Amino acid sequence: MIKQLLLTSALFGLAICSTNALADQVLCAVSPTSTPQEMKPDFCGSQRVTSSRPYVSFQFEPSKPVEHVTWRFSTPLSGRWDCGPSTECVFYDDGLDSSPLRDATACVTRVLYKDGTWKSMNECATAIYNLGSRF
């Protein structure tokens, strides 16, 4: 009886962890920086980037294989966005804005999965980073 209860509890816990791991989410990372960066869900940042023209990588981590992704993105900065119908979106900061504190947000608004199903969503990640003093 106890064995069965433990096994059931373990399987239930595994199912919960698996469900969370398969959740649709957007991750981001700022580059280049003086410390190693990893893609993180929802928010990423850096106290100091090591280039006057940094970039922010956004990655949609889907719950199942994707055919097409629709992105919405925003920033008060000048620069270039490269966001096609894939799971990747990048903001290239051109370094021309005077403010040292920077931010950029990318959201996935719609996904067409390879199995033919689709989903509307608003999964976002925001990057905040600092270029340091600007002279």
In angstroms, the CA 28 to CA 37 distance is: 9
pLDDT more than 70, % of the chain: 81
| 52 belongs to a structural domain | yes
Q: Any idea what the CATH number is for the domain that residue 42 is in?
A: 2.60.40.10
- 51 or 35, higher pLDDT: 51
Question: The pTM is what?
Answer: 0.81
Let me know if residue 68 belongs to a domain. Answer: yes
Residue 66 within any structural domain of the chain: yes
Where in the sequence is the domain holding 83, given as residue range(s)? 24-130
Between 99 and 125, whose confidence is greater? 125
Amino acid at 130: N
36 — pLDDT class (breaks 50, 70, 90): confident
SS3 annotation, the chain: CHHHHHHHHHHHHHHHHHHHHCCCEEEEEEECECCCCCCEECEEEECCECCCCCEEEEEEECCCCEEEEEEEEECCCCEEEEECCCCEEEEEECCCCCCCEEEEEEEEEEEEECCCCEEEEEEEEEEEEECCCCC
Q: Which residue has the tokens 């966005």?
A: 81
Q: Which of 57, 54, 9 is nearest to 34 (CA)?
A: 54
Which residue carries 């199942």 as its tokens? 64
Residue 90 is assigned to a structural domain of this protein: yes
Residue 34 falls within a domain, yes or no? Answer: yes
Residue 41, domain member (yes or no): yes
**Is 7 part of a structural domain of the chain?**
no
Which residues is 81 bridged to in the sheet?
Answer: 91
Total of domains in the chain: 1
pLDDT in tens, 76-97: 999 999 999 999 999 999 999 9
Residue 5 is assigned to a structural domain of this protein: no
Q: How confident is the model at residue 118 (pLDDT cuts 50, 70, 90)?
A: very high
